[in-house]
Amino acid sequence: MSPGARRAFVGLGSNLGDRLEHLERAAELLAAPGDVVAASSVYETEPVGGPEQGPYLNAVIELSTSDSPHRLLERCRALEDDAQRVRTVAFGPRTLDADVLLVGDERVHEPDLVVPHPRMYERRFVLVPLAELAPGLVPPDALASAVGRVRPVGTLTRFATSVTRSDR
The catalytic residues are: 85, 94, 97, 99
Cis peptide before 51 (omega within 30 of 0): no
Q: Residue-wise over 63-92: b if at least 16 C-beta within 10 A, else e?
A: bbbebebeebbebbeebbeebebeeeeeeb
**Could you give the CA distance from residue 117 to residue 8 in angstroms, rounded to a whole number?**
12
